[in-house]
Amino acid sequence: MSDILQQLAQVLEDRKQADPESSYVAGLYGRGLDAILKKIGEEATETVMAAKDGDAQHLVNEVADLWFHCMVLLAQQGLDVEAVLAELDRRFGLSGLEEKAARSES
């Protein structure tokens, strides 16, 4: 995992103990799962809109926001970014059609 993802994952863990009044992430945690999911939905929509606009930097910014909020969700759920990276690694080299078929069989 890249250093920045490790550092961010640690900050997100640390924010679980932070005062919601002093931390955006602690505030999200405090508002619960629905607030985090709503934020992911908003960021996903903004990512789609940025892609349609054709502005590369805007798209990068929105994808960064989406990834960030997905990491908040993982941390809130007690999951680690490493789990997602391991799953991507597991899928690497499989055709998308094979991987999707394997998922639908389980």
Predicted confidence (pLDDT) per residue in 38-70, tens digit: 999 999 999 999 999 999 999 999 999 999 999
**Interatomic CA distance for residues 37 and 60, integer angstroms:** 21
pLDDT-derived band at 105, boundaries 50, 70, 90: confident
Closest by CA to 36, choosing from 12, 58, 57, 59, is: 12
Structure confidence at residue 106 as a pLDDT band (50, 70, 90)? low
- pTM of the full structure: 0.86
